[in-house]
Structure 1
Amino acid sequence: MEEPCAPGTHEAALPVHLVVRVPEGLVRLGTGSVARAATELRPGETEHVLTSCTLRLRSPLRKADLDRVRPLLPRPDLPSLEWLAHVNDDRATALEQFVTGWYPAVPEAPEPPSMRPPALDLPEELRQFHRLARQRPRAMGVQNRILAASARLTDPLGEMLVLGEENQGGFYWSVPWTLEGAEADPVVWFREYDEPPIAEQEPLSGFLLQFSLYEAAMGADFLALPRRLTARQADRITAGLLPVPLRPFWPGAPTRFYVAPGLVLHISDEGDDDGDGEGDGARFSAWAGALHRSALAPLADAPVEWTRFDG
């Protein structure tokens, strides 16, 4: 139901009263506005039909009302955290269990022989990652990416093997490399193109696990995105999760990972307060991604302000 249109008011700017029917009756959710809508002209029809509509609420929605109109039904097949026990004793197993648990397998596309590089050119840790990604290509990254084995790029001096890059090309990761190949579990170097390289705190085995966790969260269908956090808020948002026992990822903003079944949260330390006048010491950014909205339940009661919460 829409309010009458006042003179000079565009119809799209009017509030929409939101009501949901449940078995017990009607639940009023307040007012909102149309953020995005799509229509479709179906065969044999003369008018477009509304196919989807995203509404933005104008007032906070009580959790009790949300639970009534959209009950939180658990998904029974969330992946386990068995991989977490292997992080510090068998990272190859940890990586395999995480990647195969998070991403469903797809048919493997055969690689033309001409595109297949010699196996000894790459460290074993990277070859394992490529093997996993053949049936789970999204593991290669959705925000940033690990380069395909067929790329085999080197840095401008030809001394480093470039293994991954930022989505806009602003930085890349590399490992020491010679014609004989790379050493076992080498140091990973982060480099912005106009800055000196900085060593990642974890070697390649830990880096690939961190990269996988980061990309899993970034590419997830269900997200929880808070505003910038203070140190106290960062502690409270992770209280119900398990920390991944690795040193911080990414020198640009040291990032730690926290997990629950079907959920990955990463928190990045962005340094001192940005001086925006708020005076609250906010310096941490956070991003949580989940395979199902029920997996976000451990974050539902966190005392933070969300810009998006799909749980």
Structure 2
Amino acid sequence: MHLLSEDAVLAAVGANLRIYRTPLVTYLLGSDVLAIVFEPGDRPDGTGIRDARHVAVTPPFPDEIHTLLYPDPWPGFPTEERAVLRIEGYARLAGGCVPLGSLRRFGTSWDPRKERLFSQTFKLDPALPFGLLDRIRSAVPPLPAPNVPRLDWLRLLPHDPVGATSEFVTAWYADVHPPAGPHLPATAPMPQALAALHEAISYRRELLGRQDSLFAPHELRLDAAGRLLFGAENQGCFAMATEPEGDDPPVWFLREDEEPELKPLPLSQFLLATMLFEATIIGHYTMHGLVWREDKDRMLTGLRRVPLPNREWLDWQSDTYVGRGLVVQLTPHDDTGGTWSFSAGARRREDLRAVEKFRNH
């Protein structure tokens, strides 16, 4: 393995060098190169090397770096500066920096209300050898693994989705401790299902989601039609809305200049489906890929299907399975049924091994 000194990395960036250091990453910005130097360690949902194919950066972002990474108003039409900027990755180890190769933008998450990045993911090309990946991860001892989350919440379905959601959140995120108060009060009334979920979340912001994030209680508001806006897609494509009162009100997706889209699930079931979906995104450990039809049933051995319709469209064949510290969502990848796409989330890295061995790379 070839290691470069930090001076060599600085020289490779070239002219007009600006250096921005944060706790987990150093940004080296030159005239036409952005080098990102990651600190070692295993941080699957934060800044660092996520897996053999992906790295990610999360806040804090220096202002100039945030300006470069923040997405354009019209995706696919980059500014001239972004079109020529080359992004290279490095990991800092004892004795020097190991080159990770070129980084290609792969996924972006941001808060459209505050115009701030949540995260920027890059794809590695080529993928890291597993020996190097293990060396980067093990350079800093990992935190103790949490206990396997209980599945007691399944007994409450389908008759009590509100209780099931609260118990799932409590069990799945038992290792995430609530912040100390005081906390800002809610700014709008909430129906019982949403209030119960926020009580279970207990002001833990990382539980609010990353793909389709929920608003914290003090961020709730009513729109001009009196609907309660309780969340939004992470790129501002739609807002999630419901009625501020009622036993189990409906849910709408609101898009600019379009009619409200009524979702097939009432709020109580929609919230549980959303939390299960987000568990495959903020797992703490996650994996996505394809599985052959003949391997699908073997991958699901020991898992239990959640008796809940898909939150998007009732005619989708997506199903959610849980067990062994896992949440797995499966969807047919094509009309032939030959392959299925999956997203899996776990609170412990070892629990993903049951899925990884069946992934079709």
Q: Pick the TM interval, shorter chain.
A: 0.5 to 0.7
Cα displacement (A) at 1:83: 0.9
Q: Which has the larger radius of gyration?
A: 1
- What's the counterpart of residue 216 of structure 1? 279
Aligned mates of 1:196, 1:203 — CA distance in 2: 19
Aligned mates of 1:262, 1:52 — CA distance in 2: 33
Evaluate the alpha carbon distance shift between residue 186 and residue 233 of structure 1 in structure 2; reply closer, same or farther with a 3 A threshold.
farther
- What's the counterpart of residue 265 of structure 1? 328
Aligned mates of 1:256, 1:193 — CA distance in 2: 30
**8 Å contact 1:145–1:167 — kept in the other structure?**
yes
Letter in 2 for 1:299: V
Query: What is the TM-score with the length of structure 1 in the denominator?
Result: 0.64
- What's the counterpart of residue 263 of structure 2? 200
- What's the counterpart of residue 291 of structure 1? 347
Evaluate the alpha carbon distance shift between residue 284 and residue 193 of structure 1 in structure 2; reply closer, same or farther with a 3 A threshold.
farther
Aligned mates of 1:133, 1:187 — CA distance in 2: 22
Tell me whether 161-170 or 289-298 shows the greater mean CA deviation.
289-298
**8 Å contact 1:191–1:197 — kept in the other structure?**
yes
Aligned mates of 2:276, 2:220 — CA distance in 1: 24
- What's the counterpart of residue 233 of structure 2? 166
SS in 2 for 1:218: coil
**8 Å contact 2:91–2:100 — kept in the other structure?**
no
SS in 1 for 2:248: coil
Cα displacement (A) at 1:100: 1.1
- What's the counterpart of residue 80 of structure 1? 150
Alignment of 1:174-193 (within 5 A): 174-175=241-242, 177=243, 181-193=244-256
Cα displacement (A) at 1:191: 3.6
Evaluate the alpha carbon distance shift between residue 60 and residue 38 of structure 1 in structure 2; reply closer, same or farther with a 3 A threshold.
closer
Letter in 2 for 1:83: W
Per-residue CA distance 1:81-113 (angstroms, 9 max, x = gap): 11111121222321122111111222333124x
- Structure with more relative contact order (C-alpha pairs < 8 Å, separation 6 or more): 1
- What's the counterpart of residue 25 of structure 1? none
Evaluate the alpha carbon distance shift between residue 58 and residue 269 of structure 1 in structure 2; reply closer, same or farther with a 3 A threshold.
closer
Cα displacement (A) at 1:252: 11
- What's the counterpart of residue 216 of structure 2? 148
Confirm or deny that 1:245 pairs with 2:307: yes
Confirm or deny that 1:106 pairs with 2:168: no
Evaluate the alpha carbon distance shift between residue 283 and residue 297 of structure 1 in structure 2; reply closer, same or farther with a 3 A threshold.
closer
Alignment of 1:119-130 (within 5 A): 121-130=189-198
- What's the counterpart of residue 92 of structure 2? 39
Letter in 2 for 1:305: N
- What's the counterpart of residue 360 of structure 2? 305
Evaluate the alpha carbon distance shift between residue 252 and residue 191 of structure 1 in structure 2; reply closer, same or farther with a 3 A threshold.
farther
Evaluate the alpha carbon distance shift between residue 148 and residue 76 of structure 1 in structure 2; reply closer, same or farther with a 3 A threshold.
closer
Aligned mates of 2:226, 2:100 — CA distance in 1: 51
Cα displacement (A) at 1:161: 1.4
Cα displacement (A) at 1:221: 3.2
Per-residue CA distance 1:240-264 (angstroms, 9 max, x = gap): 4211100112249944311113211
Aligned mates of 2:302, 2:264 — CA distance in 1: 26
Aligned mates of 2:256, 2:332 — CA distance in 1: 22
**Percent of residue pairs identical:** 30
**8 Å contact 2:303–2:324 — kept in the other structure?**
no
**8 Å contact 1:253–1:268 — kept in the other structure?**
no
RMSD: 3.7
User: Structure 2 residue aligned with 1:95, among 162, 165, 170?
Assistant: 165
Aligned mates of 2:315, 2:332 — CA distance in 1: 5
Cα displacement (A) at 1:232: 5.6
**8 Å contact 1:253–1:269 — kept in the other structure?**
no
Cα displacement (A) at 1:224: 2.4
**8 Å contact 2:264–2:314 — kept in the other structure?**
no
Letter in 2 for 1:244: V
Aligned mates of 2:162, 2:128 — CA distance in 1: 48
Cα displacement (A) at 1:291: 0.8
Query: What is the TM-score with the length of structure 2 in the denominator?
Result: 0.56
Aligned mates of 1:169, 1:59 — CA distance in 2: 33
Cα displacement (A) at 1:132: 1.7
**8 Å contact 1:143–1:219 — kept in the other structure?**
no
Cα displacement (A) at 1:300: 4.3
**8 Å contact 2:241–2:251 — kept in the other structure?**
yes
Structure 2: gaps spanning 5 or more residues: 3-87, 102-123, 139-143
Cα displacement (A) at 1:168: 0.7
SS in 1 for 2:178: coil
SS in 1 for 2:253: strand
- What's the counterpart of residue 50 of structure 1? 96
Letter in 1 for 2:284: D
SS in 1 for 2:219: coil
SS in 2 for 1:208: helix
- What's the counterpart of residue 75 of structure 2? none
